[in-house]
Structure formats: structure tokens, C-alpha cells
């Protein structure tokens, strides 16, 4: 029987929620890595037993965790305790939490600074991994989007990481500036039909596309308008919050920006607004129905100053025709006195029929719909603040 | 034998108790003790000192025999009581956060 496994990262650990394909009864396990911030947990599409987790701490920095048994046990990829940390020829063994920026001329001159809040240049400093994107085909290959913004890749199951330096070397790097939440690379989309095509997004630099597996990048922000930057139509400076793609139509992209919900039909070469009748076009998450590429979901948030739903009503909005016309989905969701937020990596869909939709809140609820969003119920309601939600299909 | 007390979250990471014991080659200094700790427990590499700069992480401090050694140069010899194991070397995390 098919089942689903929902991987939840929170401010104080990771949780794993499992169910059969009816998605009515859920088993909740965790916390794993109790007390640590778990920015993201995601499984390999090529091997559901392989899961990667980003474990971070203001005290102790970054840790990468890996499970090879579907989340039952975890380890830091690399050197086991007590064994030498170098190979006989002096090379370091696994250094799974070592993210070292490439200072070669691939990044420019080399590129060492980006724009700071006050307009001055500031050194690039690694802080944490925001997002882990396993390869669609190889369980040992995984991409990491980090703060300060850069893209890293591991091809040895997370034991070692290497920057894909062409992104920071795009030439606009010195113009990239952090938003209040940091200069994080949070979205990594890989075209399943053409893994050399990769999309990434950075708060608050913008969004980029590579056609050559990450060697070179093109800024894809034409059509974005952001009134909070000096030139609203500048190439760089748009605070993209999330981009989603349906795997069957990788040239159609949907974006939740700091303000505005946007759509591109040409792989990001141009964007147009599809906010339509949304009560607010601010928000963080956006996702696409597993079987209907024109059905998309957002969760409107009141504003960038008030990070909670409009009118205290937690509403998912669904468009069945690719945007502009949205319907509120409220059944089972709190419609009064609700002031939680839903963060950018905290929504996902499963591949069952009907499609399941999941999202987690800063209030610790994980809501699930097993009917494409028509009705909702909490799987759990008292976790720590949810940072990320991903789902895996189980054989 | 040198005794080292590490913060709670690093105990869970290294799967050890509050105190670990280490054999250190040569003089006991901040650097040699932390190096020995990371060789014995490689999962702690990068969690006490930054991987790249080798600087102490800002929310951690080093204490020994009632004194704060956090700002001492890394090759400063540790007190005899630390080198002999009669007193523990303490890596302390800042008390903060929710």
C-alpha cells in the first residue's frame, strides 16, 4: 500500500509524520535533533530512504544530518568517531558541515563582498543552510542553498561540499543585499527532464537560471516590480520568497514575491502578475497541484510589517486556472483569532489522487488536506514553530 | 589525561556525557586540547571553532580553574591542574534563546 511521510523542520527539532494513502491517521515521531533549529529536511526522489537535514544553531553553527533508513537513524556523513580525520595521503575525510566559499577567479576577482544594509560592501560569511535539494536521479548528489547566498553541491552523500562558484561569479554579486531575514538562497528547482537546467532564488537578490548544470547563470527578473527598491524594475534586489514548478511543465514558474504573486511561461525570461483577487499578495509559500499544472496554492499574509493572515483567518487560496482567479479554502482552518505565519519552505504536495496538500505554521500546526485543499485538518497542532514541510511517497 | 566539559547540545551531537577525557600529545594548550577533542569526536569539528577561520564561536567561551581563557592566544599553556586532570576544562555556551 502506498503511504506518505511528511518531514517537518522546526525551531526545536525535526518531526516525521507518516500515514497510509488514506491520510486519515498519522503517526508522529520526534523530535530528532531536539533543541536545534532544523531549517529543512528533504528526501531523495531517487531513494526514499535517503533523507538530508540541515541542523543549525547560533551557538554551534551548521550540521548536516543524513538518514539511510527513512529517518529511523541519522548520522553526520563523514568520519566516524575516533577514526583519523585524514586519509593516509593526508586528504581530509568527510567534512559534512564545512561550507567554504570558493575564492578562485571563478567567482570574479575573486568575489569576497556583497552589499550590506547601509550600502557598503560586506564580506561573504557562511551562516547556515536554508534549503537542501537532493538530485532527482542520484541519492548521493544534493544541492545546498546557503546564507550568505551561494549554491553548494555534494556528490558524496553530504560528506563534503563544493561551491558552484559561477552563481556568485554572475557579476551582480556585489549588488546582492540581505533582507531583514538574511541573504539566503532558499529555492532550488531542478528541471526533471533536463537536470542541467536549474533555477534558484535569493532573498533579496532575485532569481537566476542555469542551463549548464550550474556553471553559468542568468538573472531572470524581467517583469518583476518591487516598490521597496530604488529602481522598482532593477535587475537585482527583488525579494523573491518562493518559486514553484510543476515537473511536467518546467518552463512554467509560479512565484510568491515579497509583494505580488507572479507567473512566467518562458522559464523566467519574463514574468507577469497573477495576484488577481487575493486579499493580500504578500506571503511566503506557493506550490502546484501534483496532477493539475494550472492549479496553484498560496497563503496570503497581511503585510511585510504584520506577518499573519488577514483578518485573523487562516486561508489557503487556490487558483484552478493558473492565477488571477482565486478561491479561499477555509474548511477545517481557523477562521478567527489566528495570527500565525507560514514560512517559505513550509508547504508541499503529495502525489496521491486526490492530491494531498500540507503546510506548517509558526504556531506549530501542520495542516493536511487529502482532497486538493477542499478541506483541512491538523496532523499535529503543538509543535515548535515550523520552518519547513516536505512530503515523500512511500512504496 | 585531560577532562573536558562540553555544552548539552554538543553532548547529544557527539553522543557522550557531560565530561569527556582526552590524551593530548605535548603541552596542554587551548589549541592542542580542542584539536584532540575534534580528532576524538570529529562531528564536533566546526561547532566550537569556525571551520575556516578557526576562531571561537561567539556564543561559546572557555573556562579553567575559575578563569575565563576565551581571549587568550591559542597556544597559551593551560593551568597545571587542567593538564593533570584534577580540574576540568570547560566549554560553556551562552545562556540565551527561547
Question: What is the chain A residue with the closest CA to B16?
Answer: A81
Residue B97 touches partner A, C-beta closer than 8 Å: yes
Residue A99 touches partner B, C-beta closer than 8 Å: yes
Long-range CB contacts (< 8 A, 24+ apart) of B49-56?
Answer: B50/A61, B51/A61, B51/A95, B51/A97, B51/A98, B51/A99, B51/A100, B52/A98, B52/A100, B52/A126
A294-322 burial: b if 16+ Cβ within 10 Å, else e: ebbbbbbbbeeeebbbbeebbbbbbbeeb
- Let me know: does A105 contact A96? Beta carbons within 8 Å: no
Residue A116 touches partner B, C-beta closer than 8 Å: no
- pLDDT surpasses 80 at A267: yes
Report which of A11, A2, A1 is spatially closest to residue A346, judged by C-alpha positions: A11
As a whole number of angstroms, the distance between CA A373 and CA A371 comes to 5
| Number of A–B residue contacts, CB under 8 Å | 70
Residue corresponding to grid cell 533536463: A194
* Confidence band for B73, pLDDT divided at 50, 70 and 90: very high
- Let me know: does A177 contact A116? Beta carbons within 8 Å: yes
B25 CA to chain A: closest CA distance, Å? 15
- pLDDT surpasses 80 at A23: yes
A277-284 mean pLDDT: 98
- Let me know: does A121 contact A176? Beta carbons within 8 Å: no
- pLDDT surpasses 90 at A392: yes
pLDDT single digits (tens) B30-55:
999 999 999 899 899 999 999 888 89
As a whole number of angstroms, the distance between CA A245 and CA A191 comes to 9
* B40-B46-B48-B50 Cα dihedral, nearest 10 degrees: 140
% of chain A surpassing 90 pLDDT = 87
Indicate if the alpha-carbon torsion angle A184, A284, A243, A279 is positive or negative: negative
- Bridge partners of A369, per DSSP, are A357
Q: Which residues contact B91 (CB under 8 A, 6 or more apart)?
A: B4, B5, B6, B7, B10, B48, B60, B61, B62
Q: Cβ contact (<8 Å) for B46 and A78?
A: no
Chain-centre distance of CA A126, in angstroms? 18
Task: Report the pLDDT value the prediction gives residue A140, as an integer from 0 to 100.
Answer: 97
Distances (CA, A) of A277 to A226, A292, A319, A326, B6: 19, 21, 10, 6, 55
Report which of B31, B34, B38 is spatially closest to residue B13, judged by C-alpha positions: B38
As a whole number of angstroms, the distance between CA A5 and CA B29 comes to 48
Q: Cβ contact (<8 Å) for B94 and A59?
A: yes
Task: Report the pLDDT value the prediction gives residue A82, as an integer from 0 to 100.
Answer: 66
- Bridge partners of B77, per DSSP, are B29
pLDDT single digits (tens) A117-175:
988 999 999 999 999 999 999 999 999 999 999 999 999 999 999 999 999 988 899 99
% of chain B surpassing 90 pLDDT = 84
Fold of B2-93: Ubiquitin-like (UB roll) (3.10.20)
Residue A76 touches partner B, C-beta closer than 8 Å: yes
As a whole number of angstroms, the distance between CA A146 and CA A61 comes to 12
Task: Report the pLDDT value the prediction gives residue B57, as an integer from 0 to 100.
Answer: 95
Residue B73 touches partner A, C-beta closer than 8 Å: no
Q: Cβ contact (<8 Å) for B59 and A61?
A: no
Model confidence, pTM: 0.95
Phi first, then psi, for residue A130 (nearest 5°) are -85, -35
Residue B92 touches partner A, C-beta closer than 8 Å: no
pLDDT single digits (tens) A73-100:
999 998 776 676 676 776 666 788 999 9
Task: Report the pLDDT value the prediction gives residue A375, as an integer from 0 to 100.
Answer: 98
Report which of A393, A352, A338, A347 is spatially closest to residue A366, judged by C-alpha positions: A347
As a whole number of angstroms, the distance between CA A35 and CA B10 comes to 11
As a whole number of angstroms, the distance between CA A152 and CA A159 comes to 12
As a whole number of angstroms, the distance between CA A23 and CA A20 comes to 6
Residue from A57, A65, A95 to probe the interface with B (highest B Cβ count within 10 Å): A57
* Confidence band for A233, pLDDT divided at 50, 70 and 90: very high
Amino acid at each position: 500500500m502506498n503511504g506518505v511521510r511528511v518531514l517537518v523542520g522546526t525551531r526545536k527539532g525535526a518531526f516525521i509524520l507518516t500515514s497510509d494513502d488514506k491520510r486519515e491517521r498519522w503517526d508522529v515521531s520526534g523530535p530528532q535533533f531536539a533543541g536545534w533549529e532544523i531549517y529543512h529536511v528533504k528526501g531523495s526522489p531517487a531513494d526514499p530512504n535517503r533523507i538530508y537535514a540541515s541542523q543549525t544553531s547560533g551557538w554551534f553553527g551548521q550540521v548536516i544530518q543524513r538518514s539511510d533508513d527513512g529517518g529511523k537513524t541519522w548520522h553526520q556523513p563523514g568520519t566516524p568517531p575516533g577514526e583519523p580525520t585524514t586519509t593516509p595521503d593526508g586528504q581530509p575525510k568527510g567534512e559534512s558541515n564545512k561550507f567554504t566559499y570558493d575564492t578562485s577567479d571563478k567567482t570574479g576577482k575573486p568575489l569576497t563582498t556583497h552589499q550590506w544594509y547601509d550600502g557598503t560592501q560586506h564580506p561573504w560569511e557562511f551562516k547556515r543552510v536554508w534549503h537542501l535539494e537532493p538530485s532527482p536521479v542520484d541519492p548521493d548528489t544534493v544541492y545546498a542553498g546557503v546564507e550568505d547566498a551561494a549554491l553548494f553541491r555534494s556528490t558524496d552523500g553530504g560528506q563534503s561540499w563544493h561551491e558552484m562558484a559561477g552563481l556568485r561569479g554572475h557579476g551582480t554579486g556585489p549588488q546582492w543585499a540581505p533582507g531583514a531575514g538574511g541573504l539566503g538562497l532558499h529555492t532550488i528547482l531542478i528541471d526533471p527532464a533536463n537536470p542541467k537546467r536549474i533555477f534558484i532564488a535569493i532573498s533579496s537578490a532575485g532569481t537566476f537560471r542555469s542551463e549548464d548544470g550550474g556553471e553559468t547563470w542568468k538573472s531572470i527578473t524581467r517583469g518583476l516590480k518591487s516598490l521597496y527598491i530604488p529602481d522598482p524594475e532593477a535587475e537585482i534586489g527583488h525579494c523573491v520568497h518562493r518559486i514553484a514548478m510543476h515537473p511536467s511543465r518546467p518552463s512554467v514558474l509560479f512565484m510568491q514575491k515579497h509583494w505580488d504573486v507572479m507567473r512566467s511561461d518562458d522559464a523566467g525570461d519574463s514574468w507577469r502578475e497573477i495576484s488577481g483577487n487575493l486579499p493580500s499578495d504578500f506571503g511566503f509559500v506557493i506550490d502546484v497541484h501534483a496532477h493539475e499544472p494550472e492549479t496553484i496554492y498560496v497563503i496570503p499574509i497581511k503585510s511585510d510589517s504584520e506577518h499573519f493572515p488577514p483578518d485573523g483567518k487562516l486561508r489557503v487560496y487556490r487558483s484552478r486556472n493558473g492565477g488571477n482567479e482565486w478561491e479561499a479554502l477555509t474548511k477545517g482552518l481557523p477562521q478567527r483569532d489566528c495570527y500565525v505565519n507560514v514560512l517559505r519552505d513550509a508547504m508541499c504536495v503529495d502525489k496521491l489522487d486526490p492530491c494531498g496538500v500540507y503546510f506548517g505554521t509558526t504556531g506549530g500546526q501542520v495542516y493536511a488536506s487529502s482532497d486538493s485543499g477542499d478541506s483541512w485538518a491538523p496532523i499535529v497542532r503543538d509543535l515548535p514553530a515550523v520552518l519547513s514541510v516536505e512530503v515523500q511517497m512511500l512504496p | 589525561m585531560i577532562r573536558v566539559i562540553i555544552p548539552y547540545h554538543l553532548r547529544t551531537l557527539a553522543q557522550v556525557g557531560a565530561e569527556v577525557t582526552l590524551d593530548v600529545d605535548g603541552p596542554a594548550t587551548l589549541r592542542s586540547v580542542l584539536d584532540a577533542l575534534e580528532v576524538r569526536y570529529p562531528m564536533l569539528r566546526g561547532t566550537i571553532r569556525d571551520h575556516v577561520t578557526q576562531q571561537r564561536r561567539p556564543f561559546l567561551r572557555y573556562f579553567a580553574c575559575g578563569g575565563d581563557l576565551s581571549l587568550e592566544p591559542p597556544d597559551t599553556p593551560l593551568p597545571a591542574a587542567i593538564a593533570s586532570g584534577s580540574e576540568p576544562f570547560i566549554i560553556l555556551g551562552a545562556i540565551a534563546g527561547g
